[in-house]
Structure 1
Amino acid sequence: MAQGVPMDELDDMTLRKEYSPEALEETYYFSDYDHDGTRYLDWEKYCSWFTTYETDEEYLKYFEEISKKIKWIKRYMEFERGSPEWIEVEARGFRQAVEIALDFPHMSFDLALTVRSDHIFNTRFDHFDREEIDPLLFEIWKRLTKRKITFRQALEQIQQENMFPRQEKCIQFVLDNSSIYTRLQSTFDTCVEDISDETPEDEGRRLITMAVWSKLHKEKTWNEYIMRKIEIAKHIGLDLQATCIRI
Structure 2
Amino acid sequence: MFDWSFQYLTVAALDDYQHLVPQNHGGCEYVHWNDYRMYFHKYEIELEYLYFWEELSKKLKWMEDYIHLEWPTLKWGRICRRGESQAIKIATGFSNITTRLAHAAYYECIDFMNMEICWYKQLDGVYFEIWKRVAKLKKSFREALEEVYKLDQFPLREHVMEYALESNSFEIEMQFRDCTKGITEEVTEEKAQDLIADAITKLWTRPKFYADYIRKKIEIARAIGILSPVSP
TM-score of the two chains, using structure 1 as the length reference:
0.70
Q: Structure 1 36/195 Cα, relative in aligned 2: closer, same or farther at 3 Å?
A: farther
Question: Cα distance, 1:170 vs. partner?
Answer: 1.1
Question: Matches of 1:105 and 1:203 in 2, distance apart?
Answer: 42
Question: Matches of 2:57 and 2:150 in 1, distance apart?
Answer: 38
More helix by share: 1
Q: Of the candidates 204, 207, 211, which is equivalent to residue 219 of structure 1?
A: 207
Higher mean displacement: 157-166 or 137-146: 157-166
Q: Of the candidates 140, 143, 154, which is equivalent to residue 144 of structure 2?
A: 154
Check whether the contact 2:183–2:192 (CA below 8 A) recurs between aligned residues.
yes
Give the gaps of 5 or more residues in structure 1.
Answer: 1-19, 23-29, 241-247
The residue aligned with 2:26 is 36
Check whether the contact 2:24–2:30 (CA below 8 A) recurs between aligned residues.
no
Question: Matches of 2:190 and 2:41 in 1, distance apart?
Answer: 47
The residue aligned with 2:182 is 194
The residue aligned with 1:234 is 222
The residue aligned with 1:204 is 192
- Structural RMSD (CA): 3.0
Give the gaps of 5 or more residues in structure 2.
Answer: 7-19
| Residues 115-194 of structure 1 aligned to structure 2 (within 5 Å) | 115-127=105-117, 129-178=119-168, 180-182=169-171, 184-194=172-182
Question: Matches of 2:207 and 2:173 in 1, distance apart?
Answer: 20
Is 1:63 aligned to residue 53 of structure 2?
A: yes
Aligned residues: 211
Kindly provide the amino acid, as one letter, of the partner of residue 88 in structure 1: R
Question: Cα distance, 1:43 vs. partner?
Answer: 3.0
| Residues 15-54 of structure 1 aligned to structure 2 (within 5 Å) | 21=5, 34-54=24-44
Question: Cα distance, 1:60 vs. partner?
Answer: 1.7
Question: Cα distance, 1:78 vs. partner?
Answer: 4.5
Partner secondary structure for residue 36 of structure 1: helix
Higher mean displacement: 219-228 or 93-102: 93-102
Q: Structure 1 47/196 Cα, relative in aligned 2: closer, same or farther at 3 Å?
A: farther
Question: Cα distance, 1:238 vs. partner?
Answer: 1.1
**1:186-239: CA deviation from partner (whole Å, max 9, x where unpaired):** 542332123124434343223223333465532221111101101101110015
Q: Structure 1 194/58 Cα, relative in aligned 2: closer, same or farther at 3 Å?
A: same
Q: Structure 1 37/153 Cα, relative in aligned 2: closer, same or farther at 3 Å?
A: farther
Kindly provide the amino acid, as one letter, of the partner of residue 149 in structure 1: K
Q: Structure 1 173/74 Cα, relative in aligned 2: closer, same or farther at 3 Å?
A: same
TM-score of the two chains, using structure 2 as the length reference:
0.74
Is 1:113 aligned to residue 107 of structure 2?
A: no
Q: Structure 1 63/206 Cα, relative in aligned 2: closer, same or farther at 3 Å?
A: closer
Q: Structure 1 42/157 Cα, relative in aligned 2: closer, same or farther at 3 Å?
A: same
Q: Structure 1 215/159 Cα, relative in aligned 2: closer, same or farther at 3 Å?
A: closer
Q: Structure 1 202/95 Cα, relative in aligned 2: closer, same or farther at 3 Å?
A: closer
Partner secondary structure for residue 37 of structure 2: helix
**1:92-133: CA deviation from partner (whole Å, max 9, x where unpaired):** 111122233344454344422221122223334444544411
Check whether the contact 1:187–1:216 (CA below 8 A) recurs between aligned residues.
no
Check whether the contact 2:121–2:156 (CA below 8 A) recurs between aligned residues.
no
